[in-house]
Amino acid sequence: MENLDLIKNNDKLQGDKIGVFFGTFAPLHVGHQAEIYKAAALNDGVLVVTSGYKDDRGSQIGLPLEKRFRYLRQAFSDEWQIKVDMLNEDDLPVMPNGWDEWLERLLGIVKKHLSNPDAKITFYTGEEDYKKELEKRLPANQYTVSVMDRTILNISATEIRKNPLEYWDYINRSFRRHFVQKVVVMGGANSGKSTLIRRLARSANAPFGLDYVEKYQEESNVTDSEMNVKDFANIITSTYQWNSHEINSPSNNGLTIFNGDVMSVKAFSNLVLSTEDQAKVASLYDTTIAAEEIDLILIIPPFEDVNRTVFHTTKSTIDQKKYHQELLKVISEYGFSSKVVILDAPNSNEDPVGYYGRYLQAMDAIEKYTGFDIEHHKI
C-alpha cells in the first residue's frame, strides 16, 4: 500500500513501457476512453495529451484547449497510472507543414513526464495518416505507433459536436456540463414556479434545482426587508454553485431546469437594497452572470389565483408586478432577452388560472429552444 501511495504522489510516469494518447478531445468520448484504458492495461503508464490552437474545432463550440485540458484532468483524476498534459499549437505552422515542430514539442512534453528516459514509448492515434507521419520521424528502437480500433466503439467527436443530445451517453461525464441545455424558470413568490419546475423536470427525467433564495431565508430566518449586502453576496455565490451541482449531477440527461438564477436574484436585490449597497455587489453579479450561459428563460408573469394559499416561513413583501418588470430589465441588461419566453398561455374554462397552459407552453419552448425532445400533448 505504501508503494502505491508513492506512485500516486509521483508526478512522473513510472516504468519501462509508456503509452502516449494524443488528440483534440472535443469532447472526450467513450471510444477515446476505451483506447486509453487499453493503453493503460498494456503499458506501465499513459500520458494523454490534448492539442489545439485558437479557433480550432473545439474552440468553435466553446471548448478551447485550456478548458479541454482541465476537463481531461478531472476525467482521469482518480487514475494514478494516467497523466494529462496539453500541447498549444498557436505558434506552429499549419498542418501538414508543421509536423516536425509539432512532434518536437510533443516529445518534449513526453520526456518531461518520464521517470525512465529510456522507456519504450507507444503512440496511440485515431488516424492512419498520423501513424505514417510519426513513423517517418521517430526512431524505431524506442518508439512505436498504434492506430485505435474504431470498430469497437464506432463513435466520433465530429458526430457528437453536431448533435450532442443524440449521443449524450457517449460523452465523458466531465465534458457533459459543456453540452447541457440550461433552462431557468423565473417568477414571483407564490407563482407556482416550484410546482411547474418539478413537473417539467420529471416529464423530461431531468435534474432540477430548488429555490435557493427561499431556502436561505428560511434557514437564516430573515425577511425580504431584512436582507443586506452580505446576504446577497452569499446567495449569489451559492445560487451559482447550487445550479452547477445539478449540471454535474450523474442523472443529467442533457437538460437541467433551475428554480431561478443569479439574474433573478439581482432583480430581487435591486428592489430591496439601496443604490449604494447595490454597487457593492455589482461586480460579483457581473462575473457570475457572465459564467451562467443560460439557454432558455421561462418567466411566469404575475397572475391571481384566489384559491391558492402557500405558506412560507418568511412571507414575501415584494410587489410581484414590480418584480416582473425589474426581472425583464435585468435580463435585457445582460443580453438574454432573446432567450426569454413569457408563459402567458390563454386561460380556458377548464383551466381558468392557466396552470396547465403554462406547463404545455413551457414544454413546447424547451423543445424549440434546446432541441431536447419531450413527448407531450401539443397546445
- Tell me the pLDDT tens digit for each residue of 2-51: 444 444 445 899 999 999 999 999 999 999 999 999 999 999 999 999 99
120, 17 in Cβ contact below 8 A? yes
Question: For position 11, what pLDDT does the model report?
Answer: 80
Question: For position 280, what pLDDT does the model report?
Answer: 97
Backbone dihedral region for residue 56 (phi beyond 0: left; psi -120 to 50: alpha; all else: beta): beta
> What is the torsional sign of CA 126, 132, 137, 140?
positive
Question: For position 312, what pLDDT does the model report?
Answer: 53
Confidence of residue 127 (pLDDT cuts 50, 70, 90): confident
Confidence check: pLDDT of 274 > 60: yes
| pTM of the predicted model as reported, rounded to 2 decimal places | 0.84
262-273: pLDDT as tens digits: 999 999 999 999
Confidence check: pLDDT of 187 > 90: yes
Confidence check: pLDDT of 310 > 80: no
Question: For position 144, what pLDDT does the model report?
Answer: 95
Show the cell assigned to 104. 518536437
Confidence check: pLDDT of 362 > 90: yes
Contacts of 359 (CB under 8 A, 6+ apart): 196, 199, 200
Confidence check: pLDDT of 177 > 80: yes
Question: For position 174, what pLDDT does the model report?
Answer: 93
DSSP code of residue 54 = T
Confidence of residue 95 (pLDDT cuts 50, 70, 90): confident
280-296: pLDDT as tens digits: 999 999 999 999 999 99
For the ranges 120-124, 224-228, 301-305, the lowest mean pLDDT is seen at: 301-305
Confidence check: pLDDT of 57 > 50: yes
Confidence of residue 210 (pLDDT cuts 50, 70, 90): confident
Question: For position 308, what pLDDT does the model report?
Answer: 65
Half-sphere exposure of 333 (CA within 13 A, CB side): 14
Domains and CATH numbers, the chain: 2-161 (3.40.50.620), 180-370 (3.40.50.300)
On average, the pLDDT of the chain sits at 90
Confidence check: pLDDT of 377 > 50: no
In angstroms, the CA 265 to CA 280 distance is: 15
Integer-rounded Cα Rg, in Å, for the chain is: 26
Three-state DSSP state, 307: coil
Confidence check: pLDDT of 138 > 90: yes
Question: For position 6, what pLDDT does the model report?
Answer: 40
**Chain centre to alpha carbon of residue 197:** 20
